[in-house]
A = this chain, B = another copy of it.
């Protein structure tokens, strides 16, 4: 059963269709699996092989083309009539003789007719080799870049989407708190990661969590400032700092959360960094409301944060939604996207610098007149 009502999917298709017309695209070839899921309900995890969603401007529903075995991932999760769910044969996998793009490309040509075709060139699962294979079938037809067409339509969240994000929020708050509570000298990092991940999946008595990403939790001297390291099986030692970044997912909707912990008393410098980060976070949060730009939020942060003299070169967040990053906007000085009610973002103050490490984040909704956090986690540096 699809995660949303039929009317919500139809509304999404209409919004994408309107964006296509504005961009002069008659047929859009959608490649990102999160876009496929958003438009059809698909909950497989199959995009390491070619698959596409195809939408013609003005159509009521999209079509999807999957690998044959993935039909059985689609039937229980997608709202579409089965004649809009197509496949290419299994003997097109793992061979250089037959390419899935031959089948997919011919169907794209049939569906598109003479119309202008847009393709998501930026999709992370559409390699240059995939593009070459598609072009071999489509010949000299001009393909235009349609990478932004769906992302632009999904920045504002519906009440049902916000409902799933609130469920994710309750799950991630509990999971991270339980993990941090487990930290003590001698406990292995992997056992803390295991507990957090367990709770991200088990969820709450009301709602289980979905597939997640590995917990980011670099730990210890020279490691805590690594933004994309996970854990080891080394035991926590006195003085070890850990920078946690994680998210829970419900029907692919992410609520992300970050906190920092330290075993034993924190240094004066760490307390200074914590205070600087928290002031910057609050200043950014207080800037958020409908009508301000992403740049305004970043400048609000900088005014409060920079006087503390802590170096931070990276941005302070980005839009969040399906599969974590929504690719809609970036919280940095030169992004002039105007925030609207029910935009959602991961406001993350990460210090990943030579001198200092710290991370603090929450997932935020733009409310009627202010930014509202999904999280109820205490805004503390956790001392264990």
Q: Which A residues lie at the B interface, using CB under 8 A?
A: 43-46, 48, 68-70, 72-73, 75-77, 89-91, 93-95, 97, 119, 121-132, 145, 147, 188-191, 193-195, 197-203, 207-212, 214, 216, 218, 222-223, 225-233, 313-315, 318, 325, 330, 332, 334-335, 350, 352, 354, 357
Distance to closest chain B CB from A154 (angstroms): 17
Q: How far is the CA of A122 from the CA of B214 in the complex (A)?
A: 25
* Given A91-B332, A198-B198, 5 additional A-B pairs, CB 8 A: A46-B227, A94-B315, A121-B132, A129-B147, A194-B198
Whether A208 and B222, one on each chain, are in contact in the complex, defined by CB atoms closer than 8 angstroms, is: no
Q: A94-B318, A94-B332, A194-B202 are known contacts. Are A228 and B46 too (CB-CB below 8 A)? A: yes
The answer to whether A95 and B45 touch across the interface, beta carbons within 8 angstroms, is no
| 24 pairs, CB–CB < 8 Å, chain A vs chain B | A43-B229, A46-B227, A48-B124, A48-B325, A68-B313, A68-B314, A69-B314, A70-B228, A72-B225, A72-B226, A73-B218, A73-B227, A73-B229, A76-B222, A76-B226, A126-B128, A129-B145, A131-B131, A190-B208, A197-B198, A197-B201, A203-B233, A211-B214, A211-B230
Q: How many of these chains are in the complex?
A: 2
What does DSSP make chain A's interface, helix, strand, loop or mixed? Answer: loop
Which partner residue on chain B sits nearest A48 by CB separation?
A: B124
Bound-complex Cα distance A233 to B250 (A):
10
CB pair A188 B208 closer than 8 Å:
yes
- What are the residues of chain B within 8 A of A352 when measuring CB–CB? 69, 72
Shortest CB distance A74–B (Å): 8
- The one of B189, B201, B335 that contacts A190, using a Cβ cutoff of 8 Å: B201
A258 to chain B, nearest CB (A): 14
